[in-house]
Structure 1
Amino acid sequence: MKILVPVKRVIDYNLKPRIKADGSGVDLANIKMSMNPFDEIALEEAVRIKEAGKAEEVVAVSIGPAKAGSDTLKSARAIGADRAIHVETDEEVEPLAVAKILKAIVDEEQPQLVIMGKQAIDDDNNQTGQMLAALLGRPQGTFASKVEIDGDHVAVTREVDGGLETVRLALPAVVTTDLRLNEPRFPALPNIIKAAKKPMSTKSPADYGVDTAPRLKTLKVAEPPVRQAGEIVPDVDTLVAKLKAMGAV
């Protein structure tokens, strides 16, 4: 079985984004970038499935600037991906265009399973996995907290509002991962060195016949409002009175 894992280069989750002075977007100059945390979880799960002997190859894919190939996909190969595909583009690619590119790659590579993060932490769209499954006409299991391969099926335990739901999908399928699926590993130094020798092919959106021109326009980006300080009240009666005055009860 072959597993395809899309990964995205985003601002490191430990950092607080800076808004550009003109409000046109997020300032990415001189800021640390990393692999999207949900994608790290997806890649870790794919590698674990391979280590369990249920997959023969893990292919990582990234759509983005040159650094996505030299940094993000190198990290993916160090973690355990066997090879990588970099679709190089300098512009931000919207979810539908990403899904169309991934569909073309899936048609070419024919993986039995696509595992991807449920969302990227920079745009928080949570759309690409569902769009990809729809374009492919394949079953999908989203927000996975547990993934088990069972022959030509995959059992996916999903985190839903009411608790957990388990669905059994016929392969090939698309799975998106949630935070509690696993704990991603740190690549060992020998694997980091070996990663540079693992193959990576570089493509462009045009190679897959996909138009990545943006269809959405960002009007303004602003910091969220500062949270107001709380107030300590002496007793419950005072609390209820204040809530009533605010119209909260």
Structure 2
Amino acid sequence: MPDRLPPGLLLASQFAAGAANHALPGGIGAHAVTVRFLRGRGVPLDRATASIALYCPAKSVARAIVLMVFLAASPAWRLGELIPDGRTLVPVLAVAGTGAAVAGVALTVVRPLRRPVTGLLRTALADARLVHTRPCRVLALWRGAAAMPLLQGCVTAPGTAVAAVPAPGSLAVDAALVFTLAAFGSPVALATATVIGFRVLTDWLPLLPGALVLSALIRAKVL
């Protein structure tokens, strides 16, 4: 977002977004709070939505880079072994190509979709170019995108690996964390206790202050 936003309220809105994220899955709650906050600051809806659309790929790219760094530094992994073979790659490319084709046909046939989608893409590209002409905004964007997987990697390296893999629901992520720790030689009981403690510290403890901040921002009509 190239616009200048009040840093205190912006930070508070992210605490509120974290609390809302527990109510709605897949980051929808956090995105809704963020868009509502930006709208309250006078940012048009298309630009507020485009900022979310830009930040999500930035997070994915940053997580992938952090993951590659961790794997390259680990003597237990060889990057060449992670490249999928043809039997895995062909179905993935087929699914991706089918999805792109369906989206293209939908935009061509359903005219009411064409204008908002093209407008969103145009706004996102314009804001991306503008943001990347400002070094302080470039630093804030990519430093913020890489901060969470780096912090997770400092706590438990498998957390960074799981963060780069799309999985439905936190239970699937927690199971993958336990499996990854066990694969690195940790006893299953210790791996399970570690993941439970990690989840309590990162999810449940911040929930109460986040809910209080969300309530306060709603009462103050910031959201």
TM-score normalised to structure 1 length: 0.23
Q: Which has the higher strand share?
A: 1
Greater RCO, 1 or 2 (C-alpha within 8 Å, sep 6+): 2
TM-score normalised to structure 2 length: 0.25
Structure with higher Rg: it is: 1
